[in-house]
Amino acid sequence: MMAPNGPATTVKAGKSTRKAHLAVSRVEPWSVMRFSFVISLVCFIILFVAVLVLYGILSGLGVFDAITDLITSLTEGGEGDELNLQPASWFSPGRVLGYTGLIGALNIILITSLSTIGAMLYNLAADLVGGIDVTLSETE
């Protein structure tokens, strides 16, 4: 029996590549701002978890207690000359993680704003020189 459309034939396509030459002439600043905010937020979460794990390891090994004892022994005055330092409070979990959160929040603000400003500057420069040429190729 024959196929309704005639004999069955197979057509092999040779290896061919298509290339497209494109120019990135504009980057949307709003899109860049959203993307950089999400990326910097993910980096903040990674930083916070890394500091938390590292703090737990160092605290478990007794590193902070040794540093506190060293600072206390170096700053003890012999004749009532106390410096009134409290090195144990320097390494408290609340202080370390609080500073990590503060630095992470500043990084989110800075990375997001600098990326958005960079997108605007790219758009200004692309208006002058035409943007960045990109060659895309498709292989099968």
Distance CA(138)–CA(140), nearest Å, equals: 7
116 with 9: CB under 8 angstroms? no
> What's residue 83's pLDDT?
66
41 Cβ contact partners less than 8 Å away, ≥ 6 residues apart: 108
What average pLDDT is seen over the chain?
85
8: pLDDT confidence band, cut at 50, 70 and 90?
low
Q: What is the pTM of this model?
A: 0.71
- Report, as an integer, the average pLDDT of 36-40: 97
For residue range 72-130, list pLDDT tens digits in order. 888 776 665 566 777 777 888 899 999 999 999 999 999 999 999 999 999 999 999 98
